[in-house]
Amino acid sequence: MLLVPNAPMANFINHGSQEDANVQIRWPSAGSKAARLFDWAYNRQKKDIYDDKFESTNHNAWLKDHPIDVMEKSGKLAFEYVALRDIEEDEEILIDYGDLWNDAWYEFQETHPNARSDFRHAIIVPDGFYPDNWLNVTDKYEIAEIKDLENNPLEPGVALPMTWAHNGKALSPKYGYIVGLERGFSDRFLAYSEETGVIELYRKLLTEQEGFRLKSDEFTTYKPGALTNTSKTSDVELDFFVYKYKADNYRTNLHLVGPWNEASRKSVNEALGDAGFDLAMKGIGERFGYDNITCFHGSYIGVTHSDLALMHSDIYATNDKSWNIIFPLIT
């Protein structure tokens, strides 16, 4: 935000001291052409994203928004350059870059030419230019937590939109929801995963034990039921795939583990159902008006570190009718 009022054309306006500056920056005055244009753009954006009936009559309404929301308005903020006095013909237009810029320039001039690097410093806006609600707040996107889940848990099957912590708005009109699961769901599915050897398989994969040290993007299969004494005879025959996903690209040890044969797919889906997953599917189906819904595939994600991870989308061309539902087992 520091440079918004000074780019791009303002870079051609040179610095003048407080005595020499003849122009100052300010937010547009009510009723000006710039104000009317940008007020219209602000209303249009709010209608498109949040509420098609939104209409603000507040002048420079974005000044009351959170800085994160303001930073998304690139090209949709208005400001004006106003003459501080009469400007003579052929007189150069000058603005005051601020005391911090002045101090940095003085220090640069005092540095020996052989020790200098290129001079660059932020151009400072006038005192009071930014409203108080923009100052001393985080510029990080954070998803709001649901408060007091221990005493007021989300009802099983209830699907609600995830919201941003800074403004309480939904992450998206269509994507990013939380859904209530039965109390004890994760514990029940964790017990199944331990019994079938999947958790022991992860212990060996993530600690890179002999025979379980995969290369980046390597794909293989295991019988995790053979790794533990808790497995039933039928569990020992379950095949699970392991894919070490882009370990070199993202500097991660993330492993995807999932059912590989028909017996393991049936086993995982039955365990999800026994743990109470059907209620979550029912809630999503009712929330979005689906005629029916099915669990296409269940898999595990295990990771202890990821230094260069990136967000990505792996569901597309489904007309908004496919979901990744993620729940924790061990954290």
Cβ neighbours of residue 201 closer than 8 Å, sequence gap 6 or more: 212, 222, 224, 227, 240, 242, 257
Contact 272, 213 (CB under 8 A): no
What does the pLDDT look like over 135-164, one tens digit per residue?
A: 888 877 788 887 777 777 788 999 888 888
**pLDDT, mean of residues 14-27:** 88
Give per-residue burial for 307-330: e unless 16+ CB within 10 Å, then b: eeeeeeeeeeeeeeeebeeeeebe
Contact 192, 292 (CB under 8 A): no
The per-residue pLDDT for 13 is: 84
The per-residue pLDDT for 191 is: 95
3-state secondary structure of 271: helix
Confidence of residue 47 (pLDDT cuts 50, 70, 90): low
**pLDDT, mean of residues 70-87:** 77
Contact 96, 16 (CB under 8 A): yes
Alpha-carbon distance of 199 to 252, in angstroms, equals 19
Least confident of 7-11, 177-181, 218-222: 7-11
Whether the pLDDT of residue 56 is over 60: the answer is: no
- Please indicate whether residue 153 or residue 77 has the higher confidence score (pLDDT): 153
Task: Name the pairing type of β-strands 177-179 and 255-259.
Answer: unpaired
**pLDDT, mean of residues 94-112:** 89
pTM above 0.75, yes or no: no
**pLDDT, mean of residues 241-247:** 93
Alpha-carbon distance of 201 to 227, in angstroms, equals 7
Whether the pLDDT of residue 3 is over 50: the answer is: no
**283 burial type by CB count under 10 A (0-12 exposed, 13-18 middle, 19+ buried):** buried
- Please indicate whether residue 292 or residue 188 has the higher confidence score (pLDDT): 188
The percentage of the chain sitting over the pLDDT mark of 90, rounded to a whole number, equals: 32
Alpha-carbon distance of 323 to 312, in angstroms, equals 14
Alpha-carbon distance of 331 to 10, in angstroms, equals 50
Cβ neighbours of residue 138 closer than 8 Å, sequence gap 6 or more: 166
Mean pLDDT of the chain: 84
**pLDDT, mean of residues 230-236:** 80
Helices assigned H by DSSP within the chain: 33-49, 67-71, 99-110, 185-195, 198-206, 233-236, 247-250, 262-275, 277-288
Whether the pLDDT of residue 77 is over 60: the answer is: yes
Closest alpha carbon to 247 in 256, 235, 238: 256
Residue 100's beta-bridge partner residues? Answer: none
- Please indicate whether residue 244 or residue 82 has the higher confidence score (pLDDT): 244
Whether the pLDDT of residue 68 is over 50: the answer is: yes
Alpha-carbon distance of 261 to 239, in angstroms, equals 6
Q: Which two three-digit tokens encode residue 39?
A: 């007020």
Preceding amide of 126 cis, omega within 30? no
- Please indicate whether residue 46 or residue 175 has the higher confidence score (pLDDT): 175
The per-residue pLDDT for 272 is: 95
Highest mean pLDDT among 12-21, 53-62, 135-144: 12-21
